[in-house]
Amino acid sequence: EYPEIHTYDMEYIAATSGPPSVAPRSSIHTNGFGIERGSLRRPPEQFEMQEKKRKEQENTFLRSSLRKSKKLQALAKNVENPEPMKVTSFANPLAEVEEVSVKKSIAENGATRIAISDEVIENSEVFIDDGKQDHMQLDEVIISVERIASKLSSMRGRESDVAMLRDFFAAPPIQAAIEQTVKQNGKCGTTSSGIGTDSGADSSSCTSSPIPPVIMNGKAERCPSTASSSSISPRPNVKVVEVIKDEDSYLGATVRNENDRIIVGRVVKGGIVEKMNLFQEGDELLELNGSSLKGKQVNEICDIMRNLSGPITFVVSPKEETEPEANADLATANSSSVSLKKPQHVQHLRALFDYDPEDDVYVPCKELAMKFGRGDILHVLNTKDDNWWQAYRDGEDTQHSLAGLIPSSSFRQQVVLYADELEREQEQKRKECKTKKKKKLEVKKGADEENLPAIGVYSDFLTYEEVVLELPKATHRRPIVLCGAEGVGCLKLRDRLLESDRITLACPVPYTSRPPKEGEFNGVHYHFVSKQKFHEEAKSGKFVEFGEYQKFWYGTAKKDVVNVIERGKTCVMTLKAESLGAIRSPDIQPHIIFIAAPSLHILRRQREVEGTFGVKDDELKGILNQSKIIEQKYGHLFDGIIVNIDFEKSFRELKQILMKVNTEPMWVPATWTAC
């Protein structure tokens, strides 16, 4: 815009040997403000001639660059007759590149990036391998990526896509994975001299490892692992897995030693490993954060993992699958990625013993083992291991917690039998004075066995009972059975409960061999029978419980309990612990409540409140001991326990249990519903 400054066309200058002559002053026009504006007019024929000459020079340069490029010459030798396939992921197909000039540039993150020169002819088209070529080299992949990136960079708003594409393929793990794939494909595709290959063989036997998933706070993202390329094993089925581990957290897997290898022994339900399907039982762990695990012991691995947090990288070799398993995996891979999992069979068990992993020397992993008590409901999810099952306790959050390990039924019985055998061996080595004490214990044990019911084994040998959740039935009200040591308050609680509701509650009419008293009616207060008749009924198994009191016999018949149920009422009764097995049947389905004795001090105070003074400590201690023995031997039959510390409080608890039994679903033995 200044009179002394002239503008020139740069293309025209490049096509001529020198600058053009200055236009005459007559070609400079003046606007209304007195400011001069210069304009340069050029002949159209001369411009076309110079443009044609420039393109010929550029083509000549590119052809010579291609011929002299050693890298492209080597690439051309390696690739023989490629069958390209056009990229369909872009809306506008690109044009084929005839000549390219390759140069290397260093990215900001330090990774080597191969870039294409800017001197590329327009209207080029990008080709990628269609899978038929077995030896796709890394250089070919990078060149194809750069072609796509160059085209994307000319589009508006695609800068972030270009950067992501280049950064992804510039990462060392990705380049190492591509090179490893080439090696494996070359290994599978070549044959030794004189040995042929079956064209119909399963191609799935030679597959490259997929891009490993990275677990970020429990979520999986497909991105390159941070493991170095040197950690990748030459085996074709090796994969790299990176996991983000928080402090004091568990991945949900255990390991074991097989010779000098580290094998995944167990994948625990609810853990990151199980949710993301990272490992499988039987997989071999080759490396941990770049360190080889070959030859290490399990204790060493546990110590290392206990102190690790943040990103953890594993190199894993999956176990060799059988043909049915491989076909199943192939069918799963061919199916839709969004599919519903098959419902997993869950077995519901009621524990019949107390278990504390801190006291178990056989537990494989104390951190994963679950503590439970007798009567707890356990939901077993995995029983693949013959010795240790995986389960949740009823009421636990199964979505955000790990399943616990519990001893299997057979393993529990083996441990108890082994402990008994060990105890007998130790007793045989004792001195003579110790042996006398042993005989006294054996005599006492034999006396207790005479009072056991037909079902009866010691609770130490009992493990689990399969249960189902059953809704309450209006046509069948479950009887309430109170059981406890003599003098603990069972009869008093029963009478108080019957008095509170005579309409819906009732007790069965007992049998007796004594004569009726004044005011007693047969079939109302008692069933009066002769002593001979009573014994005949007892031998036939008619009675649930019977016994002798003051030279007269008393008993409760099973049919009288059923009569109360058929009348639509809840039967309330008290039984001795030895009689519980006879009434615990599908046609009665009782809810058994154990009334436990309180402490010695509270027992004495209760007697004093009742007006009984001067009770000896031996009598009160006998009640406590009997209560403990009953709970130890028959605790697996109890549905609930009430410690009778305060009578009024115990009565309120009993009323609440009665309401729940009649209104809420309850866990009952599976054999009751099968009948």
Q: Which domain CATH number covers 442?
A: 2.30.30.40
Q: What six digits make up the tokens of 369? A: 């083992």
φ, ψ of residue 219 to 5 degrees: the values are: -115, 145
Indicate if the pLDDT at residue 132 is higher than 80.
Answer: no
Domain that holds residue 432: 345-465
* Burial class of residue 339, CB neighbours in 10 A (0-12, 13-18, 19+): exposed
CA–CA gap between residue 636 and residue 464 (Å, rounded): 9
Confidence band (pLDDT; 50, 70, 90) for 610?
Answer: confident
Which of 61-75, 137-151, 282-296, 451-465: highest mean pLDDT? 282-296
Please indicate, yes or no, if residue 650 is contained in any of the structural domains. Answer: yes
Shared domain for 548 and 483, answered yes or no, is: yes
In a domain, 214, yes or no: no
Neighbour tally for 185: CB within 10 Å: 18
Longest Cα separation, the chain: 151
b/e sequence 147-181, b meaning 16+ C-beta within 10 Å: bbbbbbeeeeeeeeebeebbbebbbbbbbbbbebb
Residues 477 and 498 in one domain: yes
For residue 639, what is the domain's CATH number?
Answer: 3.40.50.300
- Is residue 181 predicted with pLDDT exceeding 60? yes
Q: How many domains does the chain have?
A: 5
Which pLDDT value is given to residue 152? 82
Beta bridge partners of 312: 243
Note the pTM of the prediction, 2 decimals. Answer: 0.59
Q: What is the pLDDT of residue 63?
A: 58
Identity at 174, one-letter amino acid code: I
Q: Output DSSP code: residue 460.
A: G
Average confidence (pLDDT) over 179-201? 45
Of 434, 465, 496, the position where a domain reaches its end is 465
CATH number of the CATH domain containing 306: 2.30.42.10
Same domain? 575 vs 520: yes
Across the range 627-650, mean pLDDT stands at 93
Give the pLDDT of residue 154: 80
Q: Model confidence at 322, in pLDDT bands (50, 70, 90)?
A: low
Give the C-alpha separation, 632 to 137, whole Å.
Answer: 73
376: pLDDT confidence band, cut at 50, 70 and 90? very high
| Strand, coil or helix: 484 | strand
More reliable by pLDDT, 428 or 656: 656
Residue 212 lies in a domain: no
Q: How much is the mean pLDDT over the chain?
A: 73
Which DSSP symbol is given to 541?
T
CB atoms within 10 A of CB 477: 22
The residue among 421, 448, 465 that closes a domain is: 465
Q: Looking at the structure, do residues 646 and 557 belong to the same domain, yes or no?
A: yes
Query: Model confidence over 244-259: pLDDT tens digits?
Result: 877 767 788 888 899 8
DSSP annotation string for 406-451: EE-HHHHHHHHHHHHHHHHHHHHTS-HHHHHHHHHHHHHHHHHHHT
Q: Work out the number of other CB atoms within 10 angstroms of the CB of residue 129.
A: 17
How large is the angle between the packed helices 490-500 and 647-663, nearest 10 degrees?
60
Q: Is residue 227 one of the residues assigned to a domain?
A: no
List the structure tokens of 325: 């398993």
Residue 588 maps to a domain: yes
**Reduced to 3 states, what is the DSSP secondary structure of residue 60?**
helix
Task: Let me know if 640 is exposed, middle or buried by CB neighbors in 10 A (0-12, 13-18, 19+).
Answer: middle
Beta bridge partners of 113: 105
Q: What is the rounded distance in angstroms from the CA atom of residue 220 to the CA atom of residue 224?
A: 12
**pLDDT tens figures, 97-106:** 333 333 333 3
With CA atoms as reference, report the closest residue to 538 among 551, 550, 526, 553.
Answer: 553
